[in-house]
Amino acid sequence: MIDDIKADALLADKAYDAEERVLKRLENKNCEAVIPPKSVRKEQRSYDRVKYQARHLIENFFVKLKQYRAIATRYDKTARNFLGGVHVAAAVILLA
């Protein structure tokens, strides 16, 4: 998936702090890696802490979205209806 990325930055957790497998490939794509380094890493590298905090907000939103049973189990047959349900649930979350 990294080879097909078309983003300016990739937000990920410490599990993706792999030099060869992730970080160098992102650098070749001119994509900023917003991944905190593991504590056992010999050379600690810097990352954008403000962007990383946004990742936490995004994760919390998806946790709230999955509390809606129809979204979590994907009852709808068509992608259009499922997306409509996601929009409704997202609106309810944002208004609450």
Give residue 15's domain range.
Answer: 1-47
Whether 60 has a pLDDT exceeding 90, the answer reads yes
84 inside domain? no
Whether 70 maps to a domain, the answer reads no
Rg of the chain in Å (alpha carbons): 17
Count of domains in the chain?
1
> What whole-number distance in Å separates Cα of residue 21 and Cα of residue 47?
18
Residues contacting residue 22 through CB under 8 Å, at least 6 positions apart: 2, 12, 16, 33, 35
Residue 83, pLDDT > 90, answer yes
**Residue 53 belongs to some domain of the structure:** no
Predicted model pTM: 0.67
In a domain, 41, yes or no: yes
User: Is 90 within the bounds of a domain?
Assistant: no
pLDDT tops 90 at residue 96:
no
Q: Is residue 14 a part of any domain in this protein? A: yes
Report residue 39 CA to chain centroid gap.
21
* H-assigned helices in 40-95: 49-65, 69-73, 79-95
